[in-house]
Structure 1
Amino acid sequence: MYTLIGPIDTRAFRVLWMLEELGLPYEHVKSKPRTAETLKHNPAGKVPVLLEGDVALTDSVAIMQYLADKHGAFTYPCGTIERARQDGFTQFVNDELDGTLWTAARHSFILPEDKRVPAVKDSLKWEFGRSVDELMRRMGNGPFLMGEKMTVPDILTAHCGSWAIAAKFPLENEAFNAYLKRMRGRPAFGRVRALG
């Protein structure tokens, strides 16, 4: 059984979603960043942390890909063209969507007030919209980023979309909005959301 450390209003949500999609048993410890419980397993104080026995794994994307690889679901095999395309989606979403949202959050409530530049958020919203348009262009016609098969970057993308909604980023791409509605309608998403 796995133990996942981190509250659902962090990137722990996406790992919990992966665990739910995989139907794996886990214990959820809602310890916040930089608390004693979190620091015990990750000296950087960041969440999520996945415990497997005595091993602590960090970084939500790495944890999701590890779980997918280990359990043979929501991923393509290493060394295949499909996996290279999947990894391309993962990197794009992590860089262009997650990175943009994280920068906006830092300038909203994370950085000390004297280090925040609130005006940067307008350009970040514009950048996010352009990235969403490009992502939808790359996606093609399937229900998921890789076509007919749901993979790790789908969970990452939908979680970023949920953050964008919460941050009141304008979501004007109708294909993206339909994609988000499908993803957020999944039973596993609902089960994690209910944990909050």
Structure 2
Amino acid sequence: MYTVIGASRNRTFRVIWMLEELGEPYERVRAKQHTPEILQHSRLGKMPVLLDQGEAITDSAAILTYLADRHGKMTAEAGTIARAKQDALTFHVLDDLESIIWTATRHGFILPEERRVAGVKDTAKWEWARNAKAVAERFRGPFVMGDEMTVPDILLTHTLTWGMGAKFAVESEALQDYVKRMQARPAFQRAVESEKEAA
């Protein structure tokens, strides 16, 4: 059984959703960022943390990739062109969407007031819209890589949901429909229930 350490309403959700999609058992340990439960596994105090076989794995994207590789599901085989394209899309989502919404969020209310830069959110919204359009142009459906759900689907759905909740526009109807379909998945709904229990 896997152990997932982290709070609700953050990137921990991605790991819970992945485990629900895989049908793998897990236990949740509720812990907040920078607390001893997290710091003993992550020097930066970041969530989530996955414990497996006595080892800690950090960073949600790394955890998703590990789980996909370990169980041989939701991923192309390592060392293939298909996997290289999948990894490229993973990095595209992380670099060109998630990093933008995270920067805007930090300058909105996380950083100390004297470290926040006014106007960052407006610039971030412009860049987000441009990059979301690029993702939409790559989208083939029904999943982001085509016919099968892969790691980037969890990252993209979570990031788009986060962005839309923060009033960052997603103009593509195809992506809007995609997010609704992904959120309707039984595993997604089970992850939502797990979040409620951990809140």
Give TM class, smaller chain. Answer: over 0.9
Matches within 5 A, 1:40-189: 40-140=40-140, 142-189=141-188
2:88 counterpart SS class = helix
Segments of 4+ in structure 1 off by > 6 A?
A: none
1:41 counterpart SS class = coil
How big is each residue's C-alpha offset from its partner over 1:157-182, in whole Å with a ceiling of 9 and x where there is no partner?
A: 00001111221212222111011111
1:51 counterpart SS class = strand
Counterpart of 1:194 in structure 2 is 193
1:4 counterpart SS class = strand
Q: 1:118 to 1:30 in 2, by over 3 A?
A: farther
Question: Quick one: distance in 1 between partners of 2:42 and 2:92?
Answer: 26
1:191 counterpart SS class = helix
1:15 counterpart SS class = helix
- TM-score, normalised to structure 1, is 0.96
Q: CA offset at residue 137 of structure 1? A: 0.7
Counterpart of 1:21 in structure 2 is 21
Question: Quick one: distance in 2 between partners of 1:4 and 1:149?
Answer: 26
Residues 8-17 or 165-174, more deviating: 165-174
Gaps of 5+ in 1: none
1:74 counterpart SS class = coil
What percent of counterpart residues are identical?
53
What is the Cα-based RMSD across aligned positions, in Å?
1.0
Number of equivalenced pairs? 195
- TM-score, normalised to structure 2, is 0.95
Q: CA offset at residue 118 of structure 1? A: 3.4
Question: Quick one: distance in 2 between partners of 1:171 and 1:144?
Answer: 17
Question: Quick one: distance in 1 between partners of 2:108 and 2:169?
Answer: 16
